[in-house]
Structure 1
Amino acid sequence: MTTFTPFKILPLLFSAAFLLTAGSLWLPGHLSLLDNGYVDTFKTAFLGILLEALPFVLLGALLSSLLRVFVPDELISRWIPRRAVPAILFGCLLGILFPVCECGMIPLVRRLMHKGMPLYVAIVFILSGPILNPVVYGATLTAFRSHPELAYTRMGLAFAVAACIGLIIYGTVRRSPLRLSIRREGSEEPHGTLRGGRAAAVLVHTSDEFFEMGKFLIIGCLLTAGIQTFMNQSSLSAIGDRPLGSYVFMMGLAFALSLCSTSDAFVASTFLHTFPSGALLAFMVLGPMLDFKNALMLLSLFKTRFALYLFFLIAAAVFTGSVLASFWL
């Protein structure tokens, strides 16, 4: 079970100190931003995104915890087909059976690889699992009630991108890219060994994952509400009117916000009338596959050269696929 150490709050303390210092220097010259209109708009945008997304984040954390406690890793490894194409299709569809948020994907996949899962199947599962699951589909459909085709296209594009990258990895990577420092995980507590049994284990893991994902959600909601409130709408419209600029901007925003896949659709929906549908797809597909926190976790799992190669494949495939999908939407 995760233990608290004082060092874990140091990044938050440094961030808070930086924001307070910067605010004290910048705010006196921009007091007009404290106008009630700005504050009300910011609060409405923030609470609207947060309250819509929280139930899906909680549901995703619960399902992920049930998987962790009740489903042995060996069971998944035994199901993997031997041939490449069926194995890639299996990896794409695995997220439907085992909905795991990207926040818990890397530890799970690391265990599976040490238990025999091939590299290309692991990559496919890492990329597709956080998107191709019922919780994310329901969240996306809820966020885009008036445009359900975006939910369907997001699922299809995620499937296609993951499958293509899996085929490329299968055909180009021969040596294991895992870091030598990674050993078989034997330090984790067995299923159900927490005090109080499996029910207590589910509650503990659910709360851990909910708060772990919740902090990224809150940061993302704050930043998005700030963009919607304080950034000039004409500037956003100018970016949205440039095809290349809109895709690059939304992909960069997805990387920086590091939102959970169960909540990013609600953030994307706030840009529905500003950016083209293809750019919103790029935001919703790239984020769960590659964002700031995922990049750090992937760098801890794989050697740097392979990780950078994977980052390039993800960005190129999502950009190309989103542009092509925009002609259909």
Structure 2
Amino acid sequence: MDRWNSGLTLFFSLLVEAFPFLLLGVTFSSVLLFFIDERRLIQLIPKHPMLGALIGSMIGFLFPVCECGNVPVARRLLVQGAPTSTAIGFLLAAPTVNPIVFWATWTAFRDQPEIVFMRIGFSLFIATIVGWVFSSQKDVRPLLNPAVARAMPKVERRSPAEATSPLLQSGTFLIGQPGKTYQLDGSLLQSVAIGENPVLSKSWRDRLRLVMENIILELRELGGILILGTAIASLVQVAIPRDLVLSLGQGPISSIVVMMFLAWIVSICSTVDAFFALSFASTFTTGSLLAFLVFGPMIDLKNLALLTSVFRTRAIAYLFILAGQLAFLLALLVNLYWG
């Protein structure tokens, strides 16, 4: 009974901790949708895959969201035609590479400033490399959730035999300028005739109303996934004794593996995970602490559920493997050569 009580307490604590940041991400993505011409912003992003991934990884400094709030923003970037490398870079780096997390990590590890700066540097490096790798996929739609893939702007030209009239497609449509229609696919506004966002011509009152409607739609979709992922993370965490985790964290390799697994299971928000890692500072290696702080915000059990709203299972597996391998190698180098 005590374990069930602990699991229930953990479930609500994780949910209460994560939901405000999910709300922040959903609100920000809705503002992008209804108040900003995202296409002009996206045009400023470098077309070079490596530079695009680096810029995407650094956007978190301007828009601080955690691993619960970065998913809807990354989804908006993909839908509006941002380079895949930029969206992936933002998705992986934004939960860590932002001023809020920097301040929280500095507060927890002020006696070890190298951990603070290596956490930011390693996160930037991994997000940029993974984003660059994903850019090699010319057409990323096969890796995306079908709803997201349908909402992305069409870049390829199709033959007349393959073309389908928008009026024959399912969904809800908005009437725009003469000769143009705009499809509202769930919580994603899709311009069937690619051009300026038609909502930008509406009054501020109408925009605010549409923002609230879109926030409710996305919270209904992502909130359910968040609750499911949080429940799984809570159940798994209370089933693993803490003493067992501590006994495995002595070696340069085993400690990294344990802390990466712990980061995946615990699913603590990146704004407070530094204080959790600090409790292991006296018994775990520096590299393993960094592995926890870098890998956890990128791919954790709670975040995996949210990622299904953007990617197919195969793409999530690619993200998990690539980010995990790079985090492990960097942490191992720290253990071997840093001390």
Identity of matched residues, %? 33
In the alignment, what sits opposite 1:299? 308
Which of 144, 147, 151 does residue 178 from structure 1 map onto?
A: 144
C-alpha contact (below 8 Å) 2:259/2:292 kept by paired residues: yes
- Taking a change above 3 Å as real, the CA distance of residues 216 and 23 of structure 1, as seen in their structure-2 partners, is closer
For the 8 Å contact 2:249–2:284, the answer to whether it is kept is: yes
CA deviations over 1:32-62 (Å, ceiling 9, x no partner): xxxxxxxxxxxxxx9xxx8xxx9x9799678
SS at match of 2:315: helix
1:274 paired residue number: 283
Give the AA of the match of 2:116.
Answer: A
Comparing 149-158 and 216-225, the one that deviates more: 216-225
Distance in 2 (alpha carbons) for counterparts of 1:199 and 1:305: 32
Deviation of residue 299 (structure 1)?
A: 3.2
The answer (yes or no) to whether the contact 2:93–2:124 under 8 Å persists in 1 is yes
Name which of 108, 120, 127 aligns with 1:162. 127
1:258 is matched with 267
| Cα pair 2:25 2:72 within 8 Å, conserved | no
Aligned to 2:253: 244
Match of 1:309 in 2: 318
Q: 1:114 aligns with which of 58, 61, 79?
A: 79
1:1-329 residue pairs with structure 2 within 5 A?
64=25, 67-68=28-29, 70-71=31-32, 72=36, 73-74=38-39, 76-171=41-136, 173-176=137-140, 177-182=143-148, 183-184=150-151, 186-188=185-187, 231-232=242-243, 237-326=246-335, 327-328=337-338
Alpha-carbon distance, 1:23 to partner:
6.0
2:230–2:302 Cα contact (<8 Å) kept: no
Match of 1:30 in 2: none
CA distance in 2, matches of 1:143, 1:214: 28
1:248 maps to amino acid: V
Instruction: Verify the 8 A CA contact 2:25 2:71 in the aligned structure 1.
Output: no
More deviation, 240-249/292-301? 292-301
Which consecutive residues of structure 1, in runs of 5 or more, have no partner in the other structure?
1-18, 25-45
Distance (Å, rounded) in 1 between the aligned partners of 2:39 and 2:250: 50
| 1:218/1:186 CA distance change after superposition, 3 Å | closer
Counterpart of 1:271 in 2: which secondary structure?
A: coil
| Residues 198/136 of structure 1: CA separation in 2 closer, same or farther (3 Å cut) | farther
Q: Give the alignment's TM-score, normalised by structure 1.
A: 0.68
Q: 1:278 to 1:304 in 2, by over 3 A?
A: same
Distance 2:106 2:227 in 1: 21
Q: Residue 128 of structure 1 contacts residue 159 of structure 1 at CA under 8 Å; is this kept in 2?
A: yes
Structure 2 CA distance for partners of 1:88 and 1:145, relative to 1, 3 Å: same
Q: Partner letter of residue 139 of structure 2? A: R
The amino acid that maps onto 1:178 is L
Whole-Å Cα distance in 2 between the matches of residues 149 and 195 of structure 1? 45
Change (3 A) 1:122 1:195: closer
CA deviations 1:155-177 (Å, max 9, x no partner) are: 01101111111222223x23321
Deviation at 1:88, TM superposition (A): 1.7
The alignment partner of 2:110 has SS state of: coil
Task: Normalising by structure 2, report the TM-score.
Answer: 0.66
One-letter code of the match for 2:282?
A: H
Greater share of helix: 1
Where does the alignment leave 5 or more consecutive residues of structure 2 unmatched? Answer: 152-183, 190-198
* CA distance in structure 1 between the partners assigned to 2:234 and 2:106 by the alignment: 19
C-alpha RMSD of the superposition: 4.3
In structure 2, give the amino acid aligned to 1:123: I
Instruction: Quote how far apart the aligned CAs of 1:243 are.
Output: 1.8
Deviates more, 1:251-260 or 1:76-85: 76-85
Q: 1:166 to 1:279 in 2, by over 3 A?
A: same
Distance 1:135 1:174 in 2: 35
